Amino acid sequence: MSLSSSELFRSAELTRLLAGEIRQAVTRPWNIMEICGGQTHAILQYGLDQLLPPEITLIHGPGCPVCVTSLEAIENALQIAHLPEVIFTSFGDMLRVPGAKANLFSARAEGADVRVVYSPLDAVKLARENPQKQVVFFAIGFETTVPSIAASVLHAERNQITNFSILPANVLVPPAMHAILQSPDNRVNAFLAAGHVCAVMGYWEYEAIAARYRAPIVVTGFEPVDLLRGILMTVRQLESGRFVVENAYSRAVTREGNLAAQEMIKQVFEPVDRQWRGIGIIPLSGLGLRPRYADFNALQRFPLTRQSPMESPLCIAGQVLRGNATPHDCPAFGRECTPASPLGAPMVSSEGACSAYYRYQRVKA
């Protein structure tokens, strides 16, 4: 009987085999960061961290899009959402992410017209159907979501839909990798790069990072076999003193990536400095609209009051997102902070490390 591809990439036999190869390959302690929150969830869901030898420490990275969306961006979103002429649209995960005092979900309960959309093009459609309203899309996420956001801006421009705008908050992976590796308290020896980001952007940008910081980077998928294969390739590089980019996800990723998507991103957006929640400003780590598309920027369209919101003093999400603590280190984990009553974004998101620990490893192993 032949295995389907999802059965193959979740095969217990292959998983055991790869874990054994990792145990044989490792001779020293290594810290490997998986960038993506989806990978963190898969690691905990399948207990892959428990299969690894004690020399390997997996550090969870900042790759949860709603977790790193800054408090300022959320406060701006709340202000815009409360304007009577606005229909505010967002991916669903973002609604429950706490701002300083409220979230988009509570704004909706207070009467704001906040709607979940599955694509930014749905927001453009809403704008077309509601010409008397201003429709704003909360543009969050990594490189994976940006092509569809760029397409929505181009579509609105082409069709002269002038009551559509975006609240720009997208972030980029490579500048975050630079920031992590340059940090004085960095512990990361190597990265598993997120396969879906590389499917869009390719991995050519990572080659200079691997060489400059002598840190192997392996493009990795999301199934147990993908992840263990990525870890094995990383460990083999570390043990042999090689520092290059390798692709363990060749069924979805090429070095160049999706050139048409990259071209569309470049047409609409340009790199800007961006504030990451819990981390701070990372130079050129965000995407802002190019001057030609400035009319689609909600920050320019609506007069907003500038605020300096404060995080909950109990939440150590910044340390978790920088890989300097795990959710188990947080005194509020599972007590004051649960998915039903989250204090920080990583407990809300389906890609947040705290929600992954709450679902799969509530008690420290």
Instruction: Return residues touching ligand SF4 (CB under 6 A).
Output: 314-317, 320, 327, 330, 332-333, 337, 342-344, 346-347, 354
Q: Which is nearer to ligand SF4, 302 or 360 (CB)?
A: 360
Instruction: State the first-to-last Cα distance of the chain, in angstroms, to the nearest integer.
Output: 37
CB of 66 vs ligand SF4, minimal distance in Å: 12
CB of 327 vs ligand SF4, minimal distance in Å: 5
CB of 47 vs ligand SF4, minimal distance in Å: 20
> Which of 281, 212, 226, 219 shows the shortest CA–CA distance to 246?
219
What tokens were used for 236?
């083999």
Q: Give the span between the Cα atoms of 42 and 362, in whole angstroms.
A: 15
Contacts with 291 (C-beta within 8 Å, 6 or more apart), sequence order = none
CB of 70 vs ligand SF4, minimal distance in Å: 15
Task: Using alpha carbons, list the distances in angstroms from residue 330 to 40, 64, 262, 304.
Answer: 17, 18, 39, 34
Contact 238/189 with Cβ under 8 angstroms? yes
Q: Which is nearer to ligand SF4, 121 or 314 (CB)?
A: 314
**How does strand 56-63 pair with strand 30-36?**
parallel
Q: Give the span between the Cα atoms of 48 and 119, in whole angstroms.
A: 32
Q: Which is nearer to ligand SF4, 187 or 362 (CB)?
A: 362
CB of 104 vs ligand SF4, minimal distance in Å: 17
Q: Which is nearer to ligand SF4, 48 or 337 (CB)?
A: 337
Q: Which is nearer to ligand SF4, 232 or 320 (CB)?
A: 320
CB of 179 vs ligand SF4, minimal distance in Å: 19
Angle between helices 224-240 and 37-45 (to 10 degrees): 110
CB of 120 vs ligand SF4, minimal distance in Å: 27
CB of 330 vs ligand SF4, minimal distance in Å: 3
Q: Give the span between the Cα atoms of 237 and 239, in whole angstroms.
A: 6
Q: Which is nearer to ligand SF4, 107 or 343 (CB)?
A: 343
Residue closest to ligand SF4, measured at CB: 344
Buried-exposed string 337-351: b where 16+ CB fall within 10 A, e elsewhere: bbeeebbbbbbbbeb
CB of 64 vs ligand SF4, minimal distance in Å: 11
Amino acid occupying residue 200: V
Cα angle value 63/90/116 (rounded, 5°):
120
Q: Which is nearer to ligand SF4, 15 or 355 (CB)?
A: 355
Q: Give the span between the Cα atoms of 3 and 322, in whole angstroms.
A: 38
Per DSSP, what are the bridge partners of residue 191? 33, 217
Q: Give the span between the Cα atoms of 141 and 287, in whole angstroms.
A: 10
**How does strand 280-289 pair with strand 269-276?**
antiparallel
Q: Which is nearer to ligand SF4, 164 or 333 (CB)?
A: 333
Q: Which is nearer to ligand SF4, 195 or 342 (CB)?
A: 342
